[in-house]
Amino acid sequence: MLTTYQNKKVLLAVTGGIAAYKVTELVRQLVKGGAIVRVMMTPTAEDFVSQRTLAILSQNPVLTEADWQAASAAVDHVAWARWADLLVLVPLTANTMAKLAQGLADNVLTTTTLASPAVKLAVPAMNDVMWASPAVQRNAALLQADGVHLLGPAEGFLAEGYAGKGRLVPLEQIMTTIGQLLAEEDRSARAADQLPDLPDLSGRQVVITAGGTREAIDPVRYLTNRSSGKMGYALANAAAIAGAKVTLVTTVDRPCDDSVKQVFVETAVEMLAAVETALPTADLFIGAAAVSDFRLAHPAAEKIKKSGPDDGLTLQLVQNPDILRSVAQAKKPGQLIVGFAAETNDPAANAQKKLARKQVDCIVLNDVSQAGIGFNGDDNAVTVFRPGQPAVHFERMKKTALAAALLRVFAQSLDELTADL
């Protein structure tokens, strides 16, 4: 399932029309949907809705003209412009529409919009006669010709006290359009990142694990780690786009290709069971998850409380199953088994040891002592170890691009393996 808004960066550009008050509800719905929302506004917009309200609802600072003018060195509008996945001009007045159609940059909102490479959605709202005027129609057409998506305005009761075409379209329609544009953006970003050099994996079945397992301490607390699942999802998406039938056993829910079969689990024991179910028909297994080596011997049935100020707590842990090792032990001829290793000290030696100890065909080492490598970030740098072959290093790059590069290595190993059968 594609979670359309999850972790997407949406920049709302609010201009000075009465419909600006409706943006508060839009912000709430986007945040509820999992989007990361920032708002910037023109001075006139501040007459209709307060900076404070939008900051509280968006859980982020709001960029206003005054902030920008007062601290232009500190508030970097170009960084805001580049940050966004989608920029939504809502409501868009005739005045700001005219400025944008002409490429004017005379305030923080128009300057940031002009500097933004993000996909743009304009949701105009204004007086009906204004909307119908030739000048506004010309400007709307110019914006569309520049690639801006236009939504509305709608027919209905206007602030003027009569019905006409000029209303902001209903919020559900704005939410749906935002979701569609984010999904399209996601697809084209994935295609641009991964399609060029992907191996052909059609006819192959791939099982991948992603995310950090969660081991319950009590009904509200658990042991886990810093894995975001990004590396596993990048591999699953790349493999799916390369034509493979992909099963992703995951502890997290991130956007991914519609064809990927996601199996959601929490614990190492559940992950092992899901992997064992999917494995018999797989050609390739990739263990990108960070699996907890330990779980609680006896998770508490009720929330653990402290009874005194000096209370400590001792947790008794037992070992979890080693999924990668059991997959390698059950390996059938023609299957390629790949593990990851996140190491902080003596990385190469430890990765080599893991290769031998877990009896896998390949270990992908992330040296997580280096800043920005491995857990949680969008980038990674890895070295691939295979028995009897020289190590192959991949410099730091986006996890999406790295996934494609790794799949090329795995596809070649898989071809060599099956050629011997």
- Smallest separation, CB 52 to ligand PMT (Å): 35
Residue selected from 17, 91, 339, 347 as contacting ligand PMT according to rule CB under 6 A = 339
* Token couple for 207: 């099982």
Closer by beta carbon to ligand PMT, 45 or else 404: 404
- Smallest separation, CB 7 to ligand PMT (Å): 13
Residue selected from 126, 207, 231, 236 as contacting ligand PMT according to rule CB under 6 A = 231
Could you tell me how many residues of this chain bind ligand PMT (CB under 6 A)?
26
Per-residue mark of binding to ligand PMT, 142-171 (x: CB under 6 A): ------------------------------
- 347 makes contact with ligand PMT (CB under 6 A): no
Closer by beta carbon to ligand PMT, 165 or else 398: 398
- 68 makes contact with ligand PMT (CB under 6 A): no
- Site stretch for ligand PMT (CB under 6 A), options 19-27, 32-40, 320-328, 386-394: 320-328
Per-residue mark of binding to ligand PMT, 255-294 (x: CB under 6 A): -------------x------------------xxxxx-x-
Instruction: Identify the active-site residue in 225, 237, 350, 366.
Output: 225
- Site stretch for ligand PMT (CB under 6 A), options 53-61, 142-150, 185-193, 335-343: 335-343
Known catalytic membership, residue 225 = yes
d(CA 272, CA 278): 10
Q: What is the DSSP string of 196-237?
A: TT----TT-EEEEEESB--EESSSS-EE--S--SHHHHHHHH
Residue selected from 229, 265, 278, 407 as contacting ligand PMT according to rule CB under 6 A = 229
Q: Three-state DSSP class for 244?
A: coil
Residue selected from 107, 110, 228, 413 as contacting ligand PMT according to rule CB under 6 A = 228
Cβ-in-10-Å burial (0-12, 13-18, 19+) of 338 comes to buried
- Site stretch for ligand PMT (CB under 6 A), options 31-39, 129-137, 192-200, 339-347: 339-347
Q: What is the DSSP string of 255-295?
A: ---TT-EEEE--SHHHHHHHHHHHGGG-SEEEE-SB--SEE
How many Cα neighbours within 13 Å face the side chain of 280? 2
Beta bridge partners of 367: 343
Query: Is the peptide bond prior to 91 cis by the omega test (within 30 degrees of 0)?
Result: yes
- Site stretch for ligand PMT (CB under 6 A), options 17-25, 46-54, 96-104, 321-329: 321-329
Residue selected from 137, 344, 369, 376 as contacting ligand PMT according to rule CB under 6 A = 376
Helix, strand and coil in the chain, % to nearest 5: 40, 25, 40
Closer by beta carbon to ligand PMT, 173 or else 352: 352
Closer by beta carbon to ligand PMT, 124 or else 287: 287
d(CA 181, CA 172): 14
State the residue for tokens 């960029």. Answer: 63
- 366 makes contact with ligand PMT (CB under 6 A): yes
Query: Assign residue 203 a region: left if phi > 0, alpha if psi is -120 to 50, beta otherwise?
Result: left
State the residue for tokens 């037992």. Answer: 318
- Smallest separation, CB 294 to ligand PMT (Å): 9
- 324 makes contact with ligand PMT (CB under 6 A): yes
**Type of residue numbered 409:** V
DSSP code of residue 239: H
Query: Is the peptide bond prior to 153 cis by the omega test (within 30 degrees of 0)?
Result: yes
- 230 makes contact with ligand PMT (CB under 6 A): yes
Residue selected from 37, 88, 101, 341 as contacting ligand PMT according to rule CB under 6 A = 341
Residues 8-67 interacting with ligand PMT (rule: CB under 6 A): none
Strands (E), 42-107: 62-63, 86-92
Distance separating the N- and C-terminal Cα atoms of the chain? 37
Integer CA distances (angstroms), 208 to 175, 247, 397, in order: 32, 6, 21
Q: Which residue ranges make up the site for ligand PMT (CB under 6 A)? A: 209, 227-231, 268, 287-291, 293, 320, 322-324, 339-342, 354, 366, 374-376
Q: Which residues does the annotation mark as catalytic?
A: 225
